[in-house]
Amino acid sequence: MALIKDRKRVTDNWQLLDALTVGEDGSLPPLPAGDVIVPAAGWTRARAQFIGREGRIGVWLSGTDDPRDIAGDLEHYGVIAVKFPSFTDGRGYSVGRLLRERYGWTGELRAVGDIQRDQLFYLARCGFNAFALREGEDVDAALTAFADFSERYQASVDQPLPLFRRRESSAHR
Amino acid sequence: MYIYDHIDQKIIEERVAQYRDQVRRFLAGTLSEDDFRPLRLQNGLYIQRHAPMLRIAVPYGMLASYQLRKLAHITRTYDRGTGHFSTRHNLQLNWPRLEDTPDILAELSTVQMHAIQTSGNCIRNISADHFAGIAPDEIVNPLVWCEVVRQWACFNPEFAYLPRKFKIALSGATTDRAAVQVHDVGLHAVLSERGEIGFRVLAGGGLGRTPILGATIREFLPWQHLLTYLEAILRVYNRYGRRDNKWKARIKILVKDLTPAGFRDAVEAEWQNSKNGPSTLTESEIARIAGWFTRPAYEKLEPLSSSYVLAIGRDKRFAAWARRNVHPHKVAGYAAVTLSLKKTGIPPGDATADQMDPIADLADRFSFGELRVTHEQNLLLPDVRQSDLFTVWREAEALGLATPNLGLITNIISCPGGDYCSLANAKSIPVAEAIQRRFDDLDFVYDIGELDLNISGCMNSCGHHHIGHIGILGVDKQGAEFYQISIGGAQGNEASLGKVLGPSVSQDEVPDVVEKLIEIYLERRDGEAERFIDVVHRIGIEPFKEHVYGAHQGSKARNRQLAAA
């Protein structure tokens, strides 16, 4: 699976665990070595053990997860991922904006799942800076998506001022 | 007209380039049908029964003569010469080739038009009152506010993949003519006690399978907060609206599930985070947008033109037309004129390219080059001098656009129906025509008085049958086309949803049923001033039901209802 980060193709060292069964007592199953991305629910249930573990840890959220639930531990994450089960499920766009704008996440925000070239522009606008492209996507074509539009009307993560505020502050526009 | 500045223009040109590349990849086989579908829909392109259907936006219904000429050119060049004006300020073409659609959009962009977000699960075209900017009862000019909302909605990155489509209507006048109560969000301008401008905010209205009137979630939203508040509504909907069932995915279901009060609380809580933030509107932005609208250079005229009054006295047919199709204007000596697209035998809302060009000429000669597309699927010349009305009437009549039936039974609102639309259960156009033929005696039509008759070919309700005084809905009954009739629906400030009369009927029976409804109305009305809708509200649907189905059937239906209750 190809990964784009900060508008470049990069190698991915993270392993994303789709599911994680935490025991009744909060015990964890054996985890693969290295850097892992775990489900947000798993994080909240076995937080202490993750913090003590070797290797970096990331969390992933689904569209129904509330980012507030994991927002108290931002210093522990190497990455936050948001899963898009289908590209037409747009909940993750709101989750992205909330993580950036409300909870102050400044690290890697990764879109995973059904991620294709034609969604990258809006995803980037909503604060995503890393994109685990769906199998078979053309990476070079995908890299051109960020230039689809040169201007935007609304405020969002990539441009915190709406166009009208920027027009007002620069008389020449 | 709102005139694009260089940034607005650049944005739509970049959209054309983006879409052209998507079509190229689709045709080359590197973009699958499933992946392409939401992309093309957000550019207004459906794949329909006969060919693709392209839905072109006429934002808030405002159209310039040069734009209409471009639409005529496109209709002639890329289609078969006829366009269909829909109930939400769009022009639909039924025969374009997919391969041509990028070129069509490129042509549109040269006259500052597009098909952006005219379909798909995103924020659609903002709809407005067709008298916007000229209505005597206007509190604010809604066009300016519609444009503010349009810019915010256009390519809004967070809300491109909502659970379902999202329609906003905005009314700037005391009387609501934008159907704010049956939209996902309705914004109705109001003045506070201190004279400040704001909006009453309604949410969760809609027609379709679960028709419901919107609930007021905020009585007064100061105008500065319009965008941040909309963003809060959309975010709550985007996060919590149902995505498991297409039929339960509209915001009305969420509002119902949370209750309007619960929904309002969620929106208000979300809003606290963005309230007073950078997207808070400023006076200078409103003034800037208003400044990009051209204003007609009205002359100073007498409030009533004597030549107009004389012509009314002299020509009965002109008088009949003036009574129905001429509307008051806030500027003395001017009037708005409906150019009817409801001639019997022509599908409601259809206009040919050969009509569009001369209509554009009429707009240039008599209405400062401007037109409006109304939600009743007619065109409007908004700014005509009263002294020109007689000439306008004669020319409109020659073009087949002077059917004097505004507000009357034959001014039927109808979707394209099963002849064109792949969603439809049944045909609409032949039903409309059969009713128009049944009521072809204009004097009788005038005697019946105000009556809205709306037809939808399926539950998607594009013909707004729920809010017709008489509503007709195409249904599928074991593979055959049937029609369910409802009465008592209404639009505007007194909006209400129609009630189903009884078992559905065949296509041939529809004009008979309508005629029977009219018989009861005429028999029971308390003079000409009492409209059909008033009688339905006063005496209920039972007498109508019994007359249509016979006393036996009527009571059988009633017993069934009681048993089901």
| Averaged pLDDT for residues B146-167 | 98
Asked whether the predicted pLDDT for residue B50 surpasses 80, the reply is no
User: Which residues of chain B does A173 touch, with a Cβ-Cβ cutoff of 8 Å?
Assistant: 7
List residues bridging with B117 in a β-sheet.
none
SS3 A64: coil
Distance CA B238, CA A71 (A): 20
Q: Which segments of B249-375 are extended strands (E)?
A: 326-327, 334-339, 350-352, 370-373
CA distance B114 to chain A (A): 16
SS3 B178: coil
Distance CA A55, CA A35 (A): 5
Nearest CA in chain A to B36: A118
Asked whether the predicted pLDDT for residue A173 surpasses 50, the reply is no
CB-CB under 8 Å, B282 with A121: no
CATH number of the domain at A3-148, please? 3.40.50
User: Which residues of chain A does B281 touch, with a Cβ-Cβ cutoff of 8 Å?
Assistant: 164
Nearest CA in chain A to B289: A164
Mean pLDDT for chain B? 93
Of A93, A160, A173, the CB nearest to B278: A160
| Averaged pLDDT for residues B420-440 | 90
Neighbouring residues of B121: CB distance < 8 A, sequence distance ≥ 6 = A88, A90, B38, B161, B162, B163, B164, B165, B166
Side chain identity, residue B130: H
Q: What is the pLDDT of residue B554?
A: 46
CATH number of the domain at B6-109, please? 3.90.480.20
DSSP annotation of B476 = E
Distance CA B183, CA B375 (A): 13
> DSSP assignment of B477-509, as one string?
ETTEEEEEEEE--B-GGG-B--EE-SS-EEGGG
DSSP annotation of A99 = I
Asked whether the predicted pLDDT for residue B559 surpasses 80, the reply is no
Domain boundaries, chain B: 6-109, 127-291, 306-398, 413-564
Side chain identity, residue B492: G
Q: What is the pLDDT of residue A55?
A: 87
Find the helix or strand (DSSP H, E) in which B379 lies: strand B379-385
Asked whether the predicted pLDDT for residue A171 surpasses 60, the reply is no
Taking alpha carbons only, the member of B149, B93, B132, B179 closest to residue B376 is: B179
Q: Which of A70-79, B64-73, B337-346 has the lowest mean pLDDT?
A: B337-346
Asked if B527 is an interface residue toward chain A (Cβ–Cβ < 8 A), one would say no
**CATH T-level topology, domain B413-564:** Sulfite Reductase Hemoprotein; domain 1 (3.30.413)
Q: How far is CA B157 from CA A109, A154, B363, B532, in A?
A: 16, 8, 37, 46
Distance CA B23, CA B15 (A): 12
Q: What is the pLDDT of residue A131?
A: 98
Q: How far is CA B136 from CA B174, B175, B294, B403, in A?
A: 9, 10, 19, 25
Q: What is the pLDDT of residue B344?
A: 85
Pick the more confident residue, B132 or B442.
B132
| Averaged pLDDT for residues B424-428 | 89
Nearest CA in chain B to A162: B279
Which of 3.50.50.60, 3.40.50.2300, 3.90.480.20, 3.40.1350.10 would CATH assign to domain B306-398?
A: 3.90.480.20
DSSP annotation of A98 = I
Of B11, B14, B235, the CB nearest to A94: B235
CB-CB under 8 Å, A163 with B157: no
Of B154, B160, B282, the CB nearest to A168: B282
Q: Which of B16-25, B183-192, B203-212 has the lowest mean pLDDT?
A: B203-212
| Averaged pLDDT for residues B77-99 | 93
List residues bridging with A109 in a β-sheet.
A80
Retrieve residue B375's tokens.
């939600």
Are B187 and B200 in contact by the 8 Å Cβ rule? The answer is yes
Q: Which segments of B86-225 does DSSP mark as H helices, in order?
A: 101-109, 142-153
Q: Do domains B306-398 and B413-564 have the same CATH topology?
A: no
Q: How does pLDDT run across A86-106, given as a tens digit for each residue? A: 999 999 999 999 999 999 999
Asked whether the predicted pLDDT for residue B530 surpasses 90, the reply is yes
User: Which residues of chain A does B151 touch, with a Cβ-Cβ cutoff of 8 Å?
Assistant: 153-154, 163-164
Residue B204, Cβ density class (10 Å: 0-12 exposed, 13-18 middle, ≥19 buried): buried
Taking alpha carbons only, the member of B11, B30, B47 closest to residue A117 is: B30
Domain B127-291 sits in which CATH superfamily?
A: Sulfite Reductase Hemoprotein, domain 1 (3.30.413.10)
CB-CB under 8 Å, A149 with B11: yes
Distance CA B134, CA B331 (A): 7
| Mutation for testing the B interface, residue in A103, A115, A164 having most B CBs under 10 Å | A164
End-to-end CA distance of chain A: 42
Q: How does pLDDT run across B274-302, given as a tens digit for each residue? A: 999 999 999 999 999 999 999 999 999 99
Q: Which of B5-19, B121-135, B503-517, B541-555 has the lowest mean pLDDT?
A: B541-555
SS3 B139: coil
| Averaged pLDDT for residues B139-164 | 97
- ipTM confidence score: 0.97
CA contacts within 13 A on the Cβ side of B410: 28
Asked whether the predicted pLDDT for residue A153 surpasses 50, the reply is yes
Taking alpha carbons only, the member of B156, B213, B139, B204 closest to residue B11 is: B156
Phi/psi for B499 (5° steps) reads: -110, 140
| Averaged pLDDT for residues A42-69 | 92
Percent of chain A past pLDDT 70, that is, above it, reads: 98
Phi/psi for B457 (5° steps) reads: -80, -10
Asked whether the predicted pLDDT for residue B54 surpasses 50, the reply is yes
| Averaged pLDDT for residues A104-119 | 98
Are B489 and B506 in contact by the 8 Å Cβ rule? The answer is no
Percent of chain B past pLDDT 90, that is, above it, reads: 85
Distance CA B78, CA B100 (A): 7
| Averaged pLDDT for residues A119-134 | 98
CB-CB under 8 Å, B239 with A93: no
User: Which residues of chain B does A135 touch, with a Cβ-Cβ cutoff of 8 Å?
Assistant: none
Q: What is the pLDDT of residue A53?
A: 85
Are A124 and A92 in contact by the 8 Å Cβ rule? The answer is no
Q: What is the pLDDT of residue B96?
A: 93
Q: What is the pLDDT of residue B64?
A: 98
Nearest CA in chain A to B6: A173
Of B7, B158, B243, the CB nearest to A93: B158
CA distance A48 to chain B (A): 30
Q: Which residue has the tokens 């937080």?
A: A47
Neighbouring residues of B140: CB distance < 8 A, sequence distance ≥ 6 = B172, B189, B197
Are B136 and B129 in contact by the 8 Å Cβ rule? The answer is no
Q: Which of A30-34, B435-439, B485-489 has the lowest mean pLDDT?
A: A30-34
Find the helix or strand (DSSP H, E) in which A4 lies: strand A3-5
Retrieve residue B151's tokens.
């810019």
Of B30, B154, B284, the CB nearest to A153: B154
Asked whether the predicted pLDDT for residue B200 surpasses 60, the reply is yes
